[in-house]
Structure 1
């Protein structure tokens, strides 16, 4: 009745070969989709981990730089204050010595 289908093709479909082929195609498509989803998830996780690690490293570097700058500023202020105190003491001693010498003479 159907002259367009050759005998092997009609026999293949009559014995369920078409459904077997369909099952194989479905399995291949499902496997490909699962692999793609797994790869995308792994890439997203890796990107998120890298971003978090880089952010933490940047935060640590910024904190270390701020601490170092604060320590250096405190040291510089301390040295300047010590120099000012020494200069004031020397000036006071010189003034006292000059006053004593002038008063005694």
Structure 2
């Protein structure tokens, strides 16, 4: 039987001293791990700067089990509701109104 290896995204601390598996959430809120079949598939979804490592599926499952995570999603695609843009106002706001808006955010 061939060994299955996934490209798994990592989270790296700001100083680079800590590396951890990057976990995600399913639509129902449960946490899951993700694996990609190629570095190109990982970069296409998460960006070329995403840190990652190669892990055998069994190793990945053994790492996430103690965290209570039992779901592995392979080659996920971005699924998000479509973004609706608000209608543009008929007259542009004054610079003072725009500044006030920014201060209240």
TM-score range, shorter chain: under 0.3
Higher helix share: 1
> Which of structures 1 and 2 has the larger relative contact order (alpha carbons within 8 angstroms, sep 6+)?
2
User: Is the radius of gyration larger for structure 1 or structure 2?
Assistant: 1
Higher strand share: 2
